[in-house]
Structure 1
């Protein structure tokens, strides 16, 4: 391996490691004030898996090295941020194509190609994002090179870091929602960290090491859209193009077709014999049908908007581990379920919960047939549901997702299932899932069950109490970092420093003479004092039956059902 190739490879490794070191922080740069973003997780997994292809590779020149890194990123790209990042690297590969070594002039051209590739990949580019950062950085260093053509690579990369940071800091001025909540763009932040890692090696000749202790990654994989306009299936596919389409596939035509379907977040890119697509679609089947004519699928992923599973959060480990199936939690395995399907049961119910304690309650107290522990991020994939349906092996299966972000994965599993008749009841909270199950009669028809369940859910007041991660004003509620944030039926209701204020506001408004019972799931962060106040306030002010259950859930102090 020549010194030029080794230098570039080490720069890339240093950049990848720097994204790993910062991915929990990137995750936290989400708009909603509960820490649950996933951009950092997506970028980390994209980079880590993409770089793995370079570990034992041999390369003809620096252009060949960058091309193989680009291809690895395209194959392992996750989410919009990962796909756009892979296109930025593809632009680098275009700029470095055929080059034996890098130079300031070549890097300027590479950045220009990156800007073009990134913008071409997106149907409707949005300024104030990672796109802006790569564009403004490219434009800035192009001007720097024009003014000083003899600038060294080290000095040019110093200018890259300055320009990228200036652009990043300005993203809130271009994207109002960022300014409103006081954060910079998360994808742009990740890109800057990648560049800083590369520059660090060029300057010091030392690869940035992966940190052994990362910042706590409290969130993971849920993107909450504030206006409830973004919904559907996150549909990603990698197509191995047939000979007729290699080099000729029209990505703009595909993007336009996706847009005509009413899709959003559209990214379509081609690289050699690979076509990579990402979109949020209401009907993923149409997307896959459209793509199939171009070749054979190598990868398909259809799931909820969270994109990542709980297994991906800690340490950025993308592997899927085998686990025991105790009849309560689902075994997560890569292989297909081999258990023969005989449909011996008439009816079965599958439910999703956020903790082991709530799982035990649903399984042992409620007698739910199959319970998936979705973890605090509550986002099992389509595959999880498909395997769960196979496990219950019933003629008729009800799925209670218990989170709005899981509905899409559950419905996708329904569309794939060919043996059992699957019904997805659109429960959006754990307490809604509990109420729905208690109003299900396995001996009744789906039509009658739907009527009784919908009536019960209409009368339910579902409350969740968490802690805000930053200051923001949303839905007319002033939210302060560290204060309690309360959602009622998935909408922001109140925020206060004292939980006593929250309890009073919620109970005084929603407990009525018609209220029959209150069920409370106590989370890991709920204190003895808070629980005592809760009991005392209910006992002294209301003649109502209530039950407090040790839920053991993270992030949310309390889940409360008022029926």
Structure 2
């Protein structure tokens, strides 16, 4: 990528040291750059699936940190850098946001090593700080991979060490090395080459260094607008608080897909935590029995909707204010559980298993701070934390790190998908101690084979061949294994592939965009492949992927 074009009538002289004022200006200018290029960064996605959110995560991470830690006059570079790195850690979203926070943590460590005053970094000091930042970024990742932001960071830090003491000279050298390393990422990662893109995180690192170059060389630094007041920031998804007063559940017979869709739409308008599942083939053209669950204030309207859709029975209504705390599945456990949920249906299922849930999905992933808030809200001394998404694992680690400082022991179960999280909670034993429970949940998650089905949003070359916008994509373990024109056939292929090595339990999680009949068709395919398997079909409500599949 080329150097940015800047227009400024009279740029100031190049800085000799990076002091507190310049460091703050760098962060604000980086936020502006991420805001301007977030769509571009989101589009640098290995897969032609609309779930890439690197740019969104980075912008929200740095925007939240700046809004939460407003600049204060007279504060030294050491105190400012520590506060900003801490704020970044709490606002970090996605793996890219956590890595960004670790980069600034490394900078803060080097600044602190120079003394409590933190007067500023010259070129050699900045180079050492970038080396420390690089070490922190690599250490944050479970399985570091070349061809990512880590490769770009490593190349930049090494170039800085060889560039001397002049601050501007070091910045020029690290930026040139970062750009060269970014251009090399498609050679290091075949998936990038197939998609015809460079790494999104590496691109973001270059954008960060471009902002630093502008500040150090006097370009555009003085004209950057002040930080946006914290009061104008979008509120994070709620973790709890006031909600509907009643839980309504019933079974529904004598209905069909069309009436169930209408029922689901009506109940969604009445309340939240909606789950409508079931529908095995019944007699006389009916679609069997459906299970309905919803939280509402208007119980009568929820029941009336059921009567209009079919024949409700086994109706149960419970007022939350009357529910005794000991009804929780984990009331006697020595630990609590927090789980990320990508949709309302998944949130209800995780809550039913005893977990406190945190909304988290592509383009609106939970920050480390939101996970920390949920952990602390449990009031437990030990918490099992399930990210249920590969791009939220590092944020979960960050939350665990901060929680430990507050005396709370958080065990991160490295569940990288919703079906892994469901499999983990299925083996939850409240009578077990926290260590035994964490081990059991981790083993169950790791033993689950995962797949999904989605729709391509652009043309690309995948591991399974080229695709066009609108094509159905089948993924197994995060890799595209089939490209098709029919969503049901593609989903059936994914299930059959997952069952090729056997399987006793199959879980089908339908997303918010799942077309009518998808669940039934995929379940039929699973029964043909594994007639004796236990098959569960549920509504998860997740975006992007009409279907998640788990095989145990």
Task: Provide the TM-score with structure 2 as the length reference.
Answer: 0.51
1:194 corresponds to = 211
| CA positional deviation for 1:20 | 3.8
Q: Is 1:129 equivalent to 2:152 in the alignment?
A: yes
C-alpha distance 487-13 of structure 1, shift in aligned 2 (>3 A): closer
Query: Which residues of structure 2 form unaligned runs of 5+?
Result: 1-11, 14-18, 90-97, 139-145, 248-271, 274-324
Choose which of 542, 547, 552 in structure 2 pairs with 1:558.
547
Q: Is 1:57 equivalent to 2:66 in the alignment?
A: no
Choose which of 109, 126, 136 in structure 2 pairs with 1:114.
126
- Residues 407-486 of structure 1 aligned to structure 2 (within 5 Å): 429-435=417-423, 437-438=425-426, 461-466=449-454, 477=464, 484-486=472-474
CA RMSD of aligned residues (A): 6.5
2:37 corresponds to = 22
Q: Is 1:527 equivalent to 2:532 in the alignment?
A: no
Choose which of 354, 377, 388 in structure 2 pairs with 1:387.
377
Partners of 1:160 and 1:420 in 2: CA distance:
40
| CA positional deviation for 1:538 | 6.6
Q: Is 1:168 equivalent to 2:157 in the alignment?
A: no
- Residues 276-355 of structure 1 aligned to structure 2 (within 5 Å): 323-324=240-241, 345-347=331-333, 350=337, 352=339, 353-355=341-343
C-alpha distance 139-531 of structure 1, shift in aligned 2 (>3 A): same
Which digits, 9 at most, give the CA deviation of each residue in 1:261-297, with x for residues without a partner? Answer: xxxxxxxxxxxxxxxxxxxxxxxxxxxxxxxxxxxxx
Q: Secondary structure at the match of 2:452?
A: strand
Contact 2:388 2:418 in 1 (8 A): yes
Partners of 1:183 and 1:511 in 2: CA distance:
34
C-alpha distance 86-202 of structure 1, shift in aligned 2 (>3 A): farther
| CA positional deviation for 1:515 | 7.0
Q: Secondary structure at the match of 1:376?
A: coil
| CA positional deviation for 1:511 | 5.3
| CA positional deviation for 1:356 | 1.4
| CA positional deviation for 1:194 | 1.7
C-alpha distance 384-20 of structure 1, shift in aligned 2 (>3 A): same
Q: Secondary structure at the match of 2:512?
A: coil
Q: Secondary structure at the match of 2:508?
A: strand
Contact 1:351 1:371 in 2 (8 A): yes
- Residues 68-107 of structure 1 aligned to structure 2 (within 5 Å): 70=81, 72-78=83-89, 79-85=98-104
Q: Secondary structure at the match of 1:357?
A: helix
Contact 2:387 2:416 in 1 (8 A): yes
Partners of 2:86 and 2:174 in 1: CA distance:
29
C-alpha distance 532-121 of structure 1, shift in aligned 2 (>3 A): closer
1:376 corresponds to = 361
Partners of 2:406 and 2:74 in 1: CA distance:
46
Partners of 1:194 and 1:503 in 2: CA distance:
44
| CA positional deviation for 1:397 | 8.9
Which digits, 9 at most, give the CA deviation of each residue in 1:406-448, with x for residues without a partner? Answer: 59759969x9799999998776543344455556676899999
Which digits, 9 at most, give the CA deviation of each residue in 1:75-125, with x for residues without a partner? Answer: 43434433435666999999xx979xxxxxxxxx94554234312554499
Q: Is 1:183 equivalent to 2:198 in the alignment?
A: yes
Partners of 2:439 and 2:66 in 1: CA distance:
49
Q: Secondary structure at the match of 2:100?
A: helix
Q: Which moved more, 1:318-327 or 1:350-359?
A: 318-327
2:479 corresponds to = 492
Contact 2:452 2:494 in 1 (8 A): no
| CA positional deviation for 1:376 | 1.4
C-alpha distance 6-479 of structure 1, shift in aligned 2 (>3 A): same
Partners of 1:46 and 1:89 in 2: CA distance:
16
C-alpha distance 553-129 of structure 1, shift in aligned 2 (>3 A): same
Q: Which moved more, 1:537-546 or 1:460-469?
A: 537-546
1:261 corresponds to = none
Contact 1:141 1:160 in 2 (8 A): no
| CA positional deviation for 1:324 | 0.4
Q: Secondary structure at the match of 1:373?
A: strand
| CA positional deviation for 1:372 | 1.1
C-alpha distance 199-24 of structure 1, shift in aligned 2 (>3 A): farther
Task: Provide the TM-score with structure 1 as the length reference.
Answer: 0.50
Partners of 2:164 and 2:387 in 1: CA distance:
49
Contact 1:11 1:201 in 2 (8 A): no
| CA positional deviation for 1:558 | 0.8
| CA positional deviation for 1:553 | 0.5
C-alpha distance 111-29 of structure 1, shift in aligned 2 (>3 A): farther
Which digits, 9 at most, give the CA deviation of each residue in 1:161-212, with x for residues without a partner? Answer: 899478515433278535751314134223244247649984697436999x
| CA positional deviation for 1:40 | 6.8
Contact 1:436 1:457 in 2 (8 A): yes
Partners of 2:406 and 2:28 in 1: CA distance:
45
| CA positional deviation for 1:527 | 3.4
Contact 2:384 2:411 in 1 (8 A): yes
Q: Secondary structure at the match of 2:241?
A: coil
1:356 corresponds to = 344
- Residues 540-559 of structure 1 aligned to structure 2 (within 5 Å): 548-559=537-548
Q: Secondary structure at the match of 1:464?
A: strand
Partners of 1:92 and 1:449 in 2: CA distance:
41
Which digits, 9 at most, give the CA deviation of each residue in 1:144-166, with x for residues without a partner? Answer: x9xxxxxxxxxx99x98899478
